[in-house]
Amino acid sequence: MFQHVEAYPGDPILSLNEAFGKDPRPNKINLSIGIYFDDAGKIPMLPSVRAAEHKVVADAGARPYLPMEGAANFRTAVQHLLFGADNAAVKAGRVVTIQSVGSSGGLKVGGDFIKRYFPESTMLVSDPTWDNHRAVFEGCGLTVKTYPYYDAATGGLRFDAMLEALKGAEKKSIVLLHACCHNPTGVDLTKAQWQQLVPVLKERELIAFLDLAYQGYGDGIEEDAYAVRLLADEGLSFFVANSFSKSMSLYGERCGALSVVCPDAAQAVNVLGQMKATIRRNYSNPPLHGGQLVARVLTDPELRPMWEAEVVAMRDRIQLMRRKLHDVLSAKLPGRDFSYFLTQHGMFSYTGLTAEQCDRLKEEFGVYLVRSGRMCVAGLNTGNVEATASAIAAVLG
Ligand code: PMP
């Protein structure tokens, strides 16, 4: 019956993470998966989230289904977090937000919606991007192509080539943009570059689809929403999928959202309606618990500042590890430029290590990186950063 079902080759990142779990070596180091680990190498339970959970559980009653679009308190809190409570588009009722099953769920619901209402549109993603972007959007039936992004020669951004490519894109193409902390490269647009992008989006009638999975890990919670607010202020219509997996360390609770900024409130009503229809056909409605933790943290006057401080601490710890790795490697291999560890943002760095060098790191030293050379810097800690630097120096030397 199922002879024609071929074997699933597995997801490269999740498979590597599983291989790490099975590796018996005590000193193994996991820099593969995009998860924030604390200095003890543990996934943190943020005190603000723990306190929110106590409050939510104490108040919990029956467990009805949520509406298709999710919990109203969660959706409003997300809008305020992304756009700002006083945002004109939000106030005008032009922004619709649905609670999604992680931001992956938001990408999927958005992709299904795009396939239905913009069937001719191509999805343009950065070269490179998070592998699952292509998988999700192709799974929605969309054609996925790339625009230039990462400059391997400098470890920076090919901004001019990116702009040229977008100037030549078909009208109404969808442009997937990482709002901050680009995965996998750590290379972001500056504010000035976002501003330069706006007229191109307008002129070509391109529809931006922002992916904000690492809010707070770049320059700050507010700062990392810069692109969202800029595009809204510029009157553009666009999508934004955001995640609480990393910012609240709520990976398994699957907390995310999809927001769509529309030209007017009447269109927003219809867009929300069709989002609900998409959700109904996919999974009916989102889960209750995680979203309530998020809503509580975001709206509770005691918990909100606690969370903001926790995000600062996570971001600062990653910065410290970037600095340490840079310093140790620069000392071990003088004459080589490791400044990209300092300029790249967020959880990831593109190290420029080849697939073969990554294989050697894994096999000889138990240091796990994705074969593209992507390192999750958030897997480094004071106990393993020197060993990581020594291993990298050995394969580079
Ligand atoms: N977008 C990007 C760029 C990501 O790196 C990730 C997680 N690795 C996601 C979306 C999905 O996150 P989640 O579904 O956990 O919210």
pLDDT in tens, 304-348: 999 999 999 999 999 999 999 999 999 999 989 999 999 998 999
For ligand 1, atom 11, which residue shows the shortest CA distance?
A: 104
pLDDT at 31: 96
Which of 35, 130, 217 to mutate for ligand 1's pocket (most ligand atoms within 8 Å of CB)? 130
pLDDT at 217: 97
Q: What is the CA(58)–ligand 1 centre distance, in A? A: 30
pLDDT at 234: 98
pLDDT at 243: 98
Instruction: Count how many Cα atoms sit within 13 Å of the Cα of residue 347 in the half-sphere of its side chain.
Output: 25
**Nearest Cα to 46, choosing from 333, 229, 397, 313?**
313
CA dist 120 and 226 (Å) reads 30
Q: What is the CA(104)–ligand 1 centre distance, in A? A: 6
Give the Cα-Cα-Cα angle 109, 110, 115 (nearest 5 degrees): 100
Taking domain 12-46+305-396, whether its CATH number is 3.40.50.300 is answered by: no
Residue type, 121: S
**Nearest Cα to 16, choosing from 396, 367, 384?**
367
Give pLDDT tens digits for 233-250.
Answer: 999 999 999 999 999 999
pLDDT at 111: 98
Q: Domain 65-299's class?
A: alpha beta
- In sequence order, what E strands does the chain have? 29-30, 95-101, 123-127, 144-148, 150-151, 156-157, 174-178, 207-212, 238-243, 255-261, 348-350, 367-368, 374-376
The CATH 3.90.1150.10 portion of the chain extends over: 12-46+305-396
Atom number, ligand 1, closest to the C-alpha of residue 105: 14
For residues 261 and 231, is the Cβ–Cβ distance under 8 A?
A: yes
pLDDT at 11: 85
Catalytic residues: 130, 211, 246
The CATH 3.40.640.10 portion of the chain extends over: 65-299
pLDDT at 397: 83
CB of 112 within 6 A of ligand 1: the answer is no
- Average pLDDT for runs of 10 along the chain of length 397: 93 90 95 95 97 96 96 98 96 98 98 98 97 96 98 94 98 98 96 98 98 97 98 98 98 98 98 98 97 98 98 97 96 92 92 94 96 95 96 93
CB of 384 within 6 A of ligand 1: the answer is no
pLDDT at 10: 85
For residues 374 and 350, is the Cβ–Cβ distance under 8 A?
A: yes
